[in-house]
Amino acid sequence: MSVARDPALSTSLCAIPLRNPIIAASGTFAYGVEFASLLDLNALGGLVVKGLSREPIEGNPPPRVVEAQCGMINSIGLQNIGVHAFVEDKLPLLARLTTPVFVNVFGFTCEDYAEVVRVLEDYPGVAGYELNVSCPNTKHGGIYFSSDPALLGEVVTAARRVARRPLIVKLSPNVSAIEPFAQAAEAAGADAISLVNTFVALAIDARTRRSRIGAGFGGLSGPAIKPIALRLVYQAAQAVRIPVVGMGGIATGVDAAEFLIAGATAVEVGTATFWDPQSPIRIARELTGFLRREGISDVSRIVRTLEL
């Protein structure tokens, strides 16, 4: 028996069974099918495809990715093929998997989010949605949904009206306090929240005196952000009753255990897949080893057990 299928790791998220709590994160795992030759997709706890919009987006100018100390900075610009091409070209392959597939959804207005979800609702093979709210709302002067609890509530409400499947809301860490945003998502009908998204960052080339990223700023991810992400996951989990999915620098089974202890029901692995495409399965295996060493028979027994 594969340790990724170990009964001790079995859990659920929004009533969706997961064979283990390790989910491949959006943005670093393409549409999932591209990794089929590199690992067994059916050994994952789940996977989240990269963000989808109503229409295709070309993304930002290069360079888009730069290595940072203990992580990386990216500014992809939400490049994607659009929801209509996704349901025609990618979803039929994903629908064959036994692994739950979550679709990351974004837009520039509430109507954009609702329309992407509406299209997806007509197709099998989708377990739920993850709303990326770190996008500028063009109807409100470019403000980000993630920076105003009221606007966050509006976009979640819009998606909730058309979504029959579970809604996970992905929160930004670039706020002064996470609790109001977690609570706003819950009040608007979110079934779960996920956090954290990347931190706004800047990398400079001292010789040219220019940004190393084509678009200027980028998003910092990887092990460097883990201590802050853990704090935010703990605070969010204390503020809501709905499940929390934790992410931010997870590279080992012990990292995953720390997020679960902080209050997460499941975790997403992103940047680690850049240097180790099989990292989600490896992390599940390492999490099994941690549980065995600690004499813990069920992964759920460590969730929300942090004592400060």
- Catalytically annotated residues: 135
How many CB atoms sit inside 10 A of residue 37's CB? 7
Residue pair 249/224 in contact (Cβ under 8 Å)? The answer is yes
DSSP string, 169-218: EEPPS-SS-SHHHHHHHHHTT-SEEEE--PEEE--EETTTTEESSTTS-E
What is the C-alpha to C-alpha distance for residues 287 and 119, in angstroms, rounded to an integer? 37
199-201 and 192-195: which strand pairing? unpaired
Question: Considering only CA atoms, which of 71, 80, 73, 302 is closest in space to residue 204?
Answer: 73
What is the C-alpha to C-alpha distance for residues 226 and 141, in angstroms, rounded to an integer? 32
128-132 and 266-269: which strand pairing? unpaired
What is the C-alpha to C-alpha distance for residues 92 and 264, in angstroms, rounded to an integer? 31
| Residue 5 DSSP one-character state | G
- What are the residues facing 128 on neighbouring strands? 102
